[in-house]
C-alpha cells in the first residue's frame, strides 16, 4: 500500500487536487470580498463561484488524466471530437456562451445593479424597467405595469442602456420643446 502512495502519479494527483481546491477557495474568498465592497447580491456571487468552479475543476480533471499517462494525441482527438459534437448541438444557440461571458463582464464591471431603473434603447422594443435579478444567462426586468421581462445578458451589453435616477422617464421619453422662431425679414 505504501508503494502506491509513493508513485509520482499519485503524488502529482494529490498535489493537483490540493492546488485546485486552494485556488477555488481563493477565488470564492475574493468574490465574497468584492461582492461586499461593491454591494452585489449574494446570488450573483454564487453564480460566479459555480461557473469558476466548473472551469477550475474541469482543468484539474484534464490535468489528472494527462498525469496518469493517457496519450496526449488520443486525448486531444477525444476532446476535439467532444467539442465538435457540442458545437454542432449548440450551433443554433451559440449565444449561450456569449451570455455566460456577458454575465462575468456584468459582474466585474458593475455597470448595473439590482434595483436600478433602466431604459434599454432598442429600436424594435424599447424597455423601461427595474432590474430585479441578474442571473447567469439573463437579467430579470420588471416594468411599471408589473410585466416581468427576461433580457439576455449579451444584449444588455450590446444595446444602449440608460440608468434612470429617481425620474420615471429617460431623456429620450420626454417631448422635445420646440421654440417658435420669427422668420420674417
* Domains assigned to the chain: 2-89 (1.10.287), 112-164 (2.30.30.520)
Task: Inform me whether the pLDDT recorded for 177 exceeds 70.
Answer: no
pLDDT at 143: 92
Mean local confidence (pLDDT), 72-87:
70
Distances from the Cα of 48 to the Cα of 20, 61, 152, 167, angstroms: 16, 20, 17, 32
Model pTM greater than 0.75? no
Alpha helices (runs of H) in 1-94, residue ranges in sequence order: 2-5, 8-37, 42-67, 72-89
Q: Is the pLDDT of residue 19 over 80?
A: yes
Residue 149 confidence (pLDDT): 92
Number of other residues whose CB lies within 10 A of the CB of residue 106: 19
Stretch 55-79: mean pLDDT: 78
Nearest alpha carbon to residue 43 among 92, 126, 90, 107: 107
Q: What is the mean pLDDT of residues 101-111?
A: 73
Instruction: Compute the distance between CA of residue 185 and CA of residue 34 in angstroms, rounded to an integer.
Output: 65
Q: Which of 106, 117, 121 is nearest to 153 (CA)?
A: 106
- pLDDT for the residue numbered 60: 87
Which has the higher per-residue pLDDT, 48 or 152? 152
Amino acid at each position: 500500500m505504501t508503494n502506491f502512495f509513493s508513485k509520482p502519479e499519485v503524488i502529482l494527483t494529490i498535489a493537483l487536487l490540493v492546488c485546485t481546491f486552494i485556488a477555488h477557495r481563493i477565488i470564492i474568498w475574493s468574490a465574497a470580498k468584492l461582492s461586499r465592497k461593491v454591494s452585489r447580491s449574494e446570488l450573483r456571487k454564487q453564480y460566479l463561484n459555480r461557473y469558476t468552479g466548473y472551469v477550475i475543476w474541469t482543468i484539474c480533471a484534464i490535468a489528472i488524466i494527462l498525469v496518469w499517462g493517457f496519450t496526449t494525441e488520443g486525448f486531444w482527438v477525444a476532446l476535439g471530437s467532444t467539442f465538435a459534437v457540442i458545437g454542432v448541438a449548440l450551433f443554433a444557440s451559440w449565444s449561450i456562451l456569449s451570455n455566460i461571458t456577458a454575465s462575468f463582464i456584468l459582474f466585474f464591471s458593475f455597470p448595473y445593479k439590482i434595483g436600478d431603473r433602466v431604459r434599454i434603447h432598442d429600436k424594435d422594443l424599447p424597455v423601461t424597467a427595474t432590474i430585479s435579478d441578474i442571473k447567469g444567462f439573463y437579467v430579470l426586468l420588471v416594468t411599471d405595469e408589473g410585466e416581468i421581462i427576461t433580457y439576455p445578458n449579451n444584449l444588455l451589453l450590446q444595446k444602449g442602456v440608460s440608468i434612470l435616477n429617481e425620474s420615471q422617464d429617460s431623456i429620450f421619453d420626454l417631448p422635445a420643446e420646440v421654440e417658435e422662431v420669427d422668420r420674417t425679414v
